Amino acid sequence: MGQEKETAGDTIGVEPRTTNTMMGDGDQKVFEESKHLGTLDRKLKSRHVQFLALSGAIGTGLFVGSGQVLSLAGPLSAFISYAVTGFNLFCVINSLGEMAAWLPLPGCVPIFATRYVDEALGFTLGWNYWYQFAIGVPIEVSVCCVIVDYWNNSVPKAALITVFFVAMVAINCFPVRIYGEAEFAFGAIKLTTIVGLILLMLIITCGGGPQGDPIGFRYWNNPGPMNEYLKDGALGRFLGFWKVFIQATFSYGGSEMVVVASGETENPRRNIPKAVRRVFWRIAIFYVLSIFLVGLCVSSEDPNLLNAIDSNSPGANQSPFVIAIENAGIKALPSIINAVVLSSAWSAGNSFFYASTRVLYSAALDGKAPAILKFEKFGVPYGCVAMTTALGCLSYLNLGNRSSEVFFWISNLSAVSTLIVWASVSYTYVCFYRGLKHNGIDRNTLPFKSPLQPYLAWFSICFCLIVAFFNGFDAFFPGRFSAKTFVPPYIDIPIVLALFFGYKFVKKTKFVRVQDMDLWSGKAEIDALEPHWPVVKPRNFLERIWFWIA
């Protein structure tokens, strides 16, 4: 079982042979083993991958959506919810990283589900994952329109939507190297900004602002660390704490796109593990620490914070970071931060667009999506780009609704989809773990061995399913039930069940037995490439620092 398979070519870009009636058993075997490799180019360099890992999904969920979490639940609840959800992401990304380092395929998630669990799950996961990423495109376009309104302008909203949306489509029509360079530039801006904001929040809370007023834990004492929601007392504080898990999940959604990109990454056996390890620091520093510090600087009852959500205040006024800066009396920074939030929102939407096309391409390679979606030119799956573009047209919902309503409605849909995908990924890893054990493969010999397994995966399965099923609890309180409160939290669950059981019924699929798991197809091709990837050594101290970063 452990013997290497026959290679299909010298590079990943070699197109698999096409089956026909004259194909012999040997050729059929080669085709089956190589079909998941696809024909995309491995043009993402180490620096592209590392910046995707550090900043790829940082966008409106952190810069804007965190304001809703703070105002609804209070600073302590916000801090704990982001910390716990961050740990859940840590579990998911480590599980996925171990599988992707073993077999780095384009958009690998649905293929892993097909091989290790059930074809029906691969089909369901491919389409749900595509939807999860693709729905992020209109979300970020919606927020871009809100942000631009910070500056007085008379540009029609339809024109703004078109500019932001068409730019995303255009970038994703170029070879992946162009996408990598764009995200590298935007990632550098985001990382610089978030580090600067963390330092600024620390200075403000210590009294280093123009007003010289030390804040400390003032707002934790009054109005308090945990806000009540729907009920008074301890129950109300718990309900407020529980309610914001879904928004915290949205903030982290898409963070695993660095693993989705493994099929287009140079030297994936080195770069993917390196990127996965850095996700922990992104969680701990960029999300959890920044939420903790901004919760010190801004009261959860700050009228600007509340009004920003209730009255659709323009631009970065929705961001608690900008509110903290304005309250501290700093005059020059709000417009600068607004521009950075705009670039971050567009960058996150661009990353979601890229990831959605690669997941859909993976599903097409596996036969779980129409064959036309396998159409590729210049290393770009243009059929998948067209599908994502079609869904991205939901951005024009802003023309008939307030942008904030569109943002929060669609973000809830995206977050529930994220939870279901994460639970499925973790269960797929549990099956992969069993497959390794059954085949006598020592995990210490893997390109990347994630820690504390399979316990991390089981934690993520339980956490994701519990939050997904109970996140819409407030819809069942007296006087609160409506389509707006019930549909967004729960519509994705019947869709997923219909996809899974519908495919199972039509195709008569069965769950994969551990002895039948395909752990090997395509691995020999990756193994053959591994010795040829260049290993660049630093020549001086500055290069050593740069190679540590990228």
Burial label for 479, CB within 10 Å (0-12, 13-18, 19+), is exposed
Q: Mean pLDDT check: name the lowest of 48-57, 276-285, 305-314, 432-441.
A: 305-314
Global pTM reads: 0.80
**DSSP codes, 208-273:** -STT----TTHHHHTT-SS---SSSHHHHHHHHHHHTHHHHHHHHTTTTHHHHGGGGBSSHHHHHH
Q: What pLDDT was estimated at residue 35?
A: 46
Per-residue pLDDT at 252 exceeds 90: no
CB distance 11 to 529 below 8 Å: yes
pLDDT tens for 280-295 read 777 777 788 889 999 9
Per-residue pLDDT at 53 exceeds 80: no
CB distance 75 to 300 below 8 Å: yes
> Could you give the CA distance from residue 440 to residue 437 in angstroms, rounded to a whole number?
5
CA 438 to centroid of chain Cα atoms: 32
> Could you give the CA distance from residue 199 to residue 293 in angstroms, rounded to a whole number?
9
Q: What pLDDT was estimated at residue 19?
A: 39
Residue 44 pairs in a beta bridge with 265
Element (H, E) at 548: helix 541-549
Cβ-proximal residues to 122 (8 Å cutoff; 6+ apart), any chain: 110, 111, 112, 113, 114, 115, 363, 366, 368
CATH number of 42-516: 1.20.1740.10
Q: Which one has a higher pLDDT value, 309 or 395?
A: 395
Q: What pLDDT was estimated at residue 460?
A: 95
pLDDT tens for 509-535 read 889 999 988 888 777 777 776 666 666
pLDDT tens for 317-374 read 567 888 888 888 887 787 888 888 888 888 888 888 888 888 788 778 777 778 787 7
> Could you give the CA distance from residue 516 to residue 192 in angstroms, rounded to a whole number?
48
The chain-wide mean pLDDT, for the chain, equals 77
Tokens of 49: 């991958």
pLDDT tens for 456-471 read 999 999 999 999 989 8
> Could you give the CA distance from residue 348 to residue 411 in angstroms, rounded to a whole number?
13
Cβ-proximal residues to 185 (8 Å cutoff; 6+ apart), any chain: none
Q: Mean pLDDT check: name the lowest of 241-250, 272-281, 323-332, 439-448.
A: 272-281
Place of tokens 């309610």: 243
Rounded average pLDDT over 426-453: 91
CB distance 377 to 123 below 8 Å: no
* Amino acid sitting at position 174: F
Q: What pLDDT was estimated at residue 9?
A: 35
Rounded average pLDDT over 12-19: 37
Strongest mean pLDDT among 351-355, 401-405, 447-451: 447-451
Per-residue pLDDT at 10 exceeds 90: no
Per-residue pLDDT at 430 exceeds 90: yes
Closest-CA residue to 314 (of 146, 66, 144, 65):
146
pLDDT tens for 475-515 read 888 888 887 778 878 888 888 899 999 999 998 888 999 99
Closest-CA residue to 78 (of 287, 275, 390):
287
CB distance 133 to 355 below 8 Å: yes
Q: How many CA atoms lie within 13 A of 445 on its CB side?
A: 6
Q: Which one has a higher pLDDT value, 265 or 213?
A: 213
User: In which band, very low, low, confident or very high, does the pLDDT at 56 lie, cut at 50, 70 and 90?
Assistant: low
